[in-house]
Amino acid sequence: MPFTNKMRLSIIVPAYKVEKYIERCIRSLQRQDIPKADYEIIVVNDGSPDSSREIVERLQQEFPNIVLINQKNQGVSVARNNAIAKATGEYIIPIDADDYVVPNTFKSILDKAETQNADVLYLGYEIFDNTLTSVWHTDFSNKKEIYDGVSGYFASRGNDVRDPDHSCGIVFRKAMLDQFDVKYPAAVPFLEDGLFLVKVFSIAKRVAFDEKTFYQRTTNLGSATVSGVYYSQRAIDGFLRAADDLRNFSNKYSFTESQQGLINHGTTNFVLLAIFPLLSATRTKIFSTIRKIKALGFSKLKTQGVVNPYLKYAKYFNISPYFFLLMYAKEMTVKKFSR
């Protein structure tokens, strides 16, 4: 039977078409160095048409700390939100079912999160290609201090960081998410993690980093970033919904200037993501997208707190979206011929 007492940790795992990987993932989460009663693994079967559900049900007979939620297919964001709502742990860690974690790491992770009273604890992660060859890993060795949320957000990224907008393999204090009603956006099909993180870091007070490797990420060759669907109309509409969502979040709570600056940065990012693809679009699509942006109230972007290169692009955009496209096309041409 699932545990009902307050736990130290809740692991949330959305599952859709992951029958090849889900058992590896769950077993890695069981090979840990804290009692099973201290943590739960909440798997959300998102209407998966394969045998993912049956595999989890079999593992439930072996491990009493697995909670299974079955729902019709609603997407990864809804699956994660339903798991977070069910979670009883002080902290949560999102995990993708096709990834896995290093054994015997939970104790040191939770001890550090609790000792440092962290709202967010970044964990080291490693990326593998489809041959399971390691291609990149984090280096948090120089991040010893406790950051506020905004500083922690920017400390986690840089030119050498792979996929900085991932939310998997990061420890989040659940009470913080509940207090500000932070959820994954159901209507944003791509970069939903990025929207979630902007909200989290705009409210987090204490952010820490753990340099030891924890998360083992496998590359999905069918992912949005690889397949180019970021340029689809579905993606563009989603990015504009994300910008609108952040504006609504900003209006819902009272933020400091620094916190508002991070929200401005995220909002600018999503508006620009909707307009970047227009570089190769038809005139009709360019005009219709820019009309939609203006109708949503984003004729001018708030630039306070926005960091380059988005600050530079936002200034172009604020002169005119068409001026932005002209300058961005020029920049891309220069890059192409300077290679």
CA distance 74 to 157: 30
Q: Please provide the distance, in angstroms rounded to a whole number, between the alpha carbons at the two ends of the chain.
A: 60
Confirm if 194 and 153 have CB atoms less than 8 A apart: no
Total-model pTM: 0.93
- Span 157-192, pLDDT tens digits: 977 888 889 999 999 999 999 999 999 999 999 999
- pLDDT, residue 339, reads 67
Q: How many CA atoms lie within 13 A of 163 on its CB side?
A: 22
The model's confidence at residue 111, banded by pLDDT at 50, 70 and 90, is: very high
Q: Structure tokens of 323?
A: 């001026």
Question: Residues 303-322: what's their mean pLDDT?
Answer: 96
Sequence spans of domains, the chain: 7-225, 228-337
CA distances from 173 to 87, 91, 100, 120, 260 (A): 11, 5, 21, 6, 21
Q: Which residue has the tokens 């201090």?
A: 145
- pLDDT, residue 280, reads 85
Q: Structure tokens of 161?
A: 């960081």
- Span 200-245, pLDDT tens digits: 999 999 999 999 999 999 865 444 444 467 778 999 999 999 999 9
Q: Which residues of 262-277 are buried (b: 16+ CB within 10 A; e: fewer)?
A: bbbbbbbbbbbbbbbb
Bridge partners (DSSP) of residue 89 are: 7
The mean predicted confidence, pLDDT, of the chain is 93
**Cα-only R_g, the chain:** 21
**Amino acid residing at 290:** I
Q: What percent of the chain has pLDDT over 90?
A: 85
Backbone angles phi, psi at 138, to 5 degrees: -70, 160
Give, for 10, the enclosing helix (H) or strand (E): strand 7-15
At the top level of CATH, the class of 7-225 is alpha beta
3-class DSSP assignment, residue 205: coil
Q: Structure tokens of 280?
A: 């190769």
- pLDDT, residue 89, reads 97
- Span 41-75, pLDDT tens digits: 999 999 999 999 999 999 999 999 999 999 999 99
Instruction: Label the pairing between strands 39-46 and 66-71.
Output: parallel
Q: Which residue has the tokens 């729902």?
A: 71
